[in-house]
Amino acid sequence: MSGRTSYLAKKTAYLAVEVWVALTINFAIPRLMPGDPARVLLSRYLQQGVVFPPQTLTAFESLFGISHAPIYVQYGQYLVNTLTGNLGTSFTYYPASVWSVIRYAVPWDIALLGVATLLSFALGTFLGLLVGWSRNGKLDSSLTSVFSFLGAFPYFWVALGLLYTFSLVYKVFPVGHAYALNILPNFSLQFFGSYLYHAFLPVTTLLLVSLGGWLLLTRNTAVTNLSEDYMLFGQAAGLKKRRMLIYYLGKNSILPSLTSFSISLGLIVGGAILTEIVFSYPGIGYVLYQAVLNDDYPLIQGIFFVITVVVLVTNYIVDLIYGFIDPRVTATA
């Protein structure tokens, strides 16, 4: 097998194992934790002083699809159901199926996360290069410490502070939602403008949480690359600073940070869940919050599964692109 084929095969095998692990975790958690969802829900009601007749448990069990069949039968059933897109019924949005609830929310996430991820990658890499170039200078120490100290504060708290300042005190931005309620989603310029206006604060807060990672990563690669011979050569040849920065340092420092894309994606997805709650943004994170508030177990688990698969597949694609641009990776695979 050539390097590229075996690289592809290896990555595909990893993807399959990862999806299988995610599926199995999703299957195992409700069964490992004390009490199944039906009993958990009943005990929650009991704590609030609501008492149900005994047959309620059976009703809840059939709602959650809990069976008393042998565990391997349940596992097989679960795998078949999930892989055919049958994620159960949500009871927050009853009678909608979990899949249809998720499908409705996902476009908003793509709109929000897509913009935030691209901006954070571009801006973080650029700043990282700049800071790495003038390492230990004023810009370096100030930016590095600003981002490490910012990371110490709860991210949702910072987001709420921004919302309070810009939407309640100064009323510059809307307090929530993805677009003005008097406009229907369509392909008009008016709707697009409203979308951008509503996305500004959420995207800005997502940048705050994810920019630092890219910046530090690129900075560290850039600092290592600065001592390479080609940098010395470029300097000796009297190249302009801008050319050195972009074509010599930049080209060699951007690639390695792509390998950390998976971790950054995980961070930004976690951040997005909290952002959407703070800004009442109608994406999957907001739906997850509603599901948590209503003990909607089918929806919680369906969302975990969909988020995980999307993250895994995105990583897979990035890995493939990376293998395509950087032949060194496929050569050693």
Partner 1 sequence: MNESGIWLTLSSTKGRVGFGILLALVAIALVSPYVVPSPEKAYGQYLPPSAKHLLGTDYFGYNVLSWVLIGSRVSLLVGFLAGAAITAIALAMAVIAGYFEKTILGELFSAIINVFLVIPALPLLIVIASYIVTQSVYPVIFAIVIISWPYPARILRSQILTLKNREFVLADKGLGLSDFQIIRSDILPSLYSIIFSVFLFGTIGAILTQASLQFLGLGGVSIVSWGSMLYWAQNEEALFSGAWWWFLPPGIMIGLVGVALVLINLSLDEVVNPRLQALKLSKKAKEIQKTFAAS
Going by the DSSP 8-state scheme, the letter that residue 152 receives in this structure is T
Report in angstroms how near the CB of residue 307 gets to partner 1 at its nearest.
Answer: 5
Q: Which of 158, 239, 329, 333 binds partner 1 (CB under 8 A)?
A: 158
Q: Nearer to partner 1 by C-beta: 159 or 195?
A: 159
Collapsing DSSP states into helix, strand and coil, what is residue 65?
A: coil
Residues 65, 30: contact at Cβ < 8 Å? no
* Residues of this chain, 90-119, that bind partner 1 according to CB under 8 A: none
Residue 50 touching partner 1 (CB under 8 A):
no
* Residues of this chain, 67-86, that bind partner 1 according to CB under 8 A: none
Give CA–CA dist 311/239, Å, rounded: 41
Task: Mark the segment that binds partner 1 (CB under 8 A) among 17-25, 53-61, 74-82, 242-250.
Answer: 17-25
Give CA–CA dist 286/276, Å, rounded: 5
Give CA–CA dist 33/43, Å, rounded: 14
Q: Which of 4, 10, 30, 320 binds partner 1 (CB under 8 A)?
A: 30
In whole angstroms, what separates CA 134 from the centre of its chain?
32
**Backbone phi, then psi, for 70, in 5-degree steps?**
-55, 150
Q: Nearer to partner 1 by C-beta: 22 or 207?
A: 22
Amino acid in position 330: T
Residue 286 touching partner 1 (CB under 8 A):
no
Q: Which residues contact 18 (CB under 8 A, 6 or more apart)?
A: 312
What tokens appear for 127 in the block?
């700043």
Residue 295 touching partner 1 (CB under 8 A):
yes
What tokens appear for 284 in the block?
């999957």
| DSSP structure string for 164-189 | IIIIIIS--S-SS-SS-TTS-SSS-H
Collapsing DSSP states into helix, strand and coil, what is residue 89?
A: strand
Q: Which of 94, 153, 230, 324 binds partner 1 (CB under 8 A)?
A: 153
Report in angstroms how near the CB of residue 237 gets to partner 1 at its nearest.
Answer: 27
What tokens appear for 257 in the block?
């940070």
Going by the DSSP 8-state scheme, the letter that residue 295 receives in this structure is T
Task: Mark the segment that binds partner 1 (CB under 8 A) among 67-75, 145-153, 192-200, 325-333.
Answer: 145-153
Count of residues near partner 1 by CB under 8 A: 57
Q: Which of 5, 12, 136, 224 binds partner 1 (CB under 8 A)?
A: 136
Report in angstroms how near the CB of residue 158 gets to partner 1 at its nearest.
Answer: 8
- What mask, x for binding partner 1 by CB under 8 A, covers residues 208 to 247? ----------------------------------------
Q: Which residues contact 271 (CB under 8 A, 6 or more apart)?
A: 155, 205, 206, 209, 210
Give CA–CA dist 219/140, Å, rounded: 9
Q: Nearer to partner 1 by C-beta: 129 or 209?
A: 209
Q: Which of 94, 164, 230, 247 binds partner 1 (CB under 8 A)?
A: 164
Q: Which segments of 227-293 does DSSP mark as H helices, in order?
A: 229-236, 241-243, 251-258, 261-278, 284-293
- Residues within the interface to partner 1 (CB under 8 A): 14, 17-18, 21-22, 25-26, 29-30, 33-35, 37, 40, 43-44, 136, 145, 148-149, 151-158, 160-161, 163-164, 168, 262-263, 265-266, 269-270, 273-274, 277, 288-289, 292-293, 295, 297, 300-301, 303-304, 307-308, 311-312, 315
